[in-house]
Structure 1
């Protein structure tokens, strides 16, 4: 079967025919294209791809073994960048659930504290009552760096400079042995929290749970048991969620053997965006708007009129309700101070349901917590960053055990043909 390409007078062949001539599956043909071994063009009408039969013949002449090796995924990966082996988190869209090392993550977060879940993720061992303590020198450096930023800087901006300063103060940061990395992680998580300036009465006890210490950095309100429990559950739920954008950035850095501080720094950098870490801030501001206007109708209408998605609704990996939101919203229903924010969230869901079947996601639940607790809009991102640091370390540990520099895709050049003449200065 041949497909003519309009206007060029050449006979081109389909993907299926190219695969047959090469003796491979159609998927492998596209792998050859992604590796730059084979050129392709869109077929007439935009359906499928076409290939130059001479180019296919030349590739076949090189031998199937050589071509297959060039198109093969990197060691430790399946399908190249599309699928990367990991034993950290399994997300099951069919059941709208996810698991940490094979154990239901929601059940873990409901039963155990953040530090206990983090230790489980790192080691596969449950250690009840485990606590994380910030080492003095890295903490002092982190506090100095975070404190040097302008007064209106957000908590995650302070974390970004804190992790760099803490790394610079740790002479053992280049030790990538498993025990050394785990020791670094146990100190880094509390360092990020304790480097933040207190918003109210400080919790000076370095052995206090991470959730309690983070609470005092995000709000001046007194910490009640129910609210801190929700914050602790949120931290545990958000530890990891498979290969999100920031986690992939961490693994790329770790593939190049960046030390744990630098790998976490890569994750914090990738977190900065409205489609990832900052999504909860949009939901926070929306809930305040709903509460101020006395109803979700005009707020939802304004988002839809502007062509924007309603913040806090829907998740690309879940058909129904985000399991993290389900648990957090249930716990928030037991917090009296959250009643108004929770009502605004439910009003938003009911209003949006007239137009779309989307459900609540974890960003909406974080927004209810931050609004109800008197936290700033950026609080959800800070909770996300502290929680996810533990997950990033788990992925870095996996990547340190893989072949170095394996996370290196091959670019498919789409620029002007080479060689070109040396450019002449303009003007």
Structure 2
């Protein structure tokens, strides 16, 4: 078992959400295998993932034991029988038939148009000035700064808590965010996917790359009430502006358990692509601390349909098949040992490798695509009773 990824006692207990005493009770009952080493007990990370998954099978889909149950009405995304639907239509079909721009406008209830989103030069300058102040080249941090800049520039009707103001904010965000990622000096009227293809690859785009990125953006639009979406709705419930609500969403999105997982999946997949065995690749570094990056989903019991669609599309970029081969090797190892299937984060990592993109490209695509869903949820929340998402605490102290 030395070649398998392993976790410490503390890491395993944290992964399962139990105390070490409970963990050792599992060991004594033969439910988990403990490896004794000179540095203490170790646990096979893939066995832990399989055990964690088995403990959830009796629970309703999407519910984690011990978490407060909140059910909100939504007509934006539906996940049923392993399929994803946007406003009652199959998401895989929609993203195959419509560009990201058309899909965004349709989600928002706007007239059908494939025209690029545009922004006036003053708003662009406000966003760019704050984004440029961010040290280094952290795309997600630059995006968060740009949202603050746009919010500071907006005034009056543009910050009102109305569905119309939310949609106007969404249009500005989709015009600006793809350009600040690459530190663009201008704002030529190009599609979101084409702008990002250049910004994230550092070279001229190809139609094949733009097409795959466009579909990935569309598939990221919404996925029930993810923590970032809930954060956006909570802020909107308190009648924050759409810019402030998207800032709240991005704060929750910028996390190793939600929006930035694909960055870790890139590291893992690149090791296998470079020739490491899946076991060695999984064992190296810290890839199993929050689960296996790119695998498993709390909603899907089988494969993530978004991942299947993107992995199929990257055949147009992966000319020698090496990236898909690495995905197959890694997926087989994780499925056999942990019973987990690839999710959208692994598919985005595969797109990074096949498209020659920067390592955080998957995070950027996921975040910018999700802006469309956040705006739709914010607009919907503005039409409901204010402050309805203020839960009541239950005191448990002395």
Q: Is the 8 A contact 1:338 1:373 kept in 2?
A: no
Counterpart of 2:261 in structure 1 is 279
Q: How does 1:17-28 map to 2 (within 5 A)?
A: none
Q: How does 1:293-304 map to 2 (within 5 A)?
A: 293-302=275-284
Q: 1:323 to 1:305 in 2, by over 3 A?
A: closer
Counterpart of 1:85 in structure 2 is 73
Q: Is the 8 A contact 2:327 2:350 kept in 1?
A: yes
Q: Which stretches of structure 1, 4 residues or longer, exceed 4 Å deviation after superposition?
A: 202-205, 301-308
Q: Is the 8 A contact 1:312 1:361 kept in 2?
A: yes
Q: Is the 8 A contact 1:139 1:195 kept in 2?
A: no
Q: Is the 8 A contact 2:349 2:362 kept in 1?
A: yes
Counterpart of 1:365 in structure 2 is 347
1:193 paired to 2:152 = no
CA-based RMSD of the aligned residues comes to 2.1
Counterpart of 2:46 in structure 1 is none
Q: Which structure would you say has the larger Rg?
A: 1
In structure 2, runs of 5+ residues without a counterpart are 1-67
The structural deviation recorded for 1:117 is: 1.0
- Secondary structure at the counterpart of residue 151 of structure 2: helix
The structural deviation recorded for 1:389 is: 0.7
In structure 1, runs of 5+ residues without a counterpart are 1-79, 417-427
Q: Is the 8 A contact 1:332 1:338 kept in 2?
A: no
1:160 paired to 2:141 = no
Q: Is the 8 A contact 1:338 1:372 kept in 2?
A: no
1:389-414 residue CA offsets vs partner (Å, 9 max, x unmatched): 11100000010000111111000112
Q: 1:148 to 1:180 in 2, by over 3 A?
A: same
CA distance in structure 2 between the partners assigned to 1:352 and 1:178 by the alignment: 44
**Greater relative contact order (Cα < 8 A, sep 6+):** 2
Q: 1:193 to 1:224 in 2, by over 3 A?
A: same
Residue-pair matches, total: 330
Q: How does 1:31-180 map to 2 (within 5 A)?
A: 82-92=70-80, 95-123=81-109, 127-150=112-135, 152-172=136-156, 173-180=158-165
TM-score using structure 2 length: 0.78
- Secondary structure at the counterpart of residue 338 of structure 2: coil
CA distance in structure 2 between the partners assigned to 1:258 and 1:403 by the alignment: 14
Within the candidate set 198, 212, 218, 2:200 is matched to: 218
- Secondary structure at the counterpart of residue 85 of structure 2: strand
Q: 1:228 to 1:306 in 2, by over 3 A?
A: closer
Q: Is the 8 A contact 2:233 2:381 kept in 1?
A: yes
The structural deviation recorded for 1:301 is: 4.6
The structural deviation recorded for 1:205 is: 5.9
The structural deviation recorded for 1:237 is: 0.4
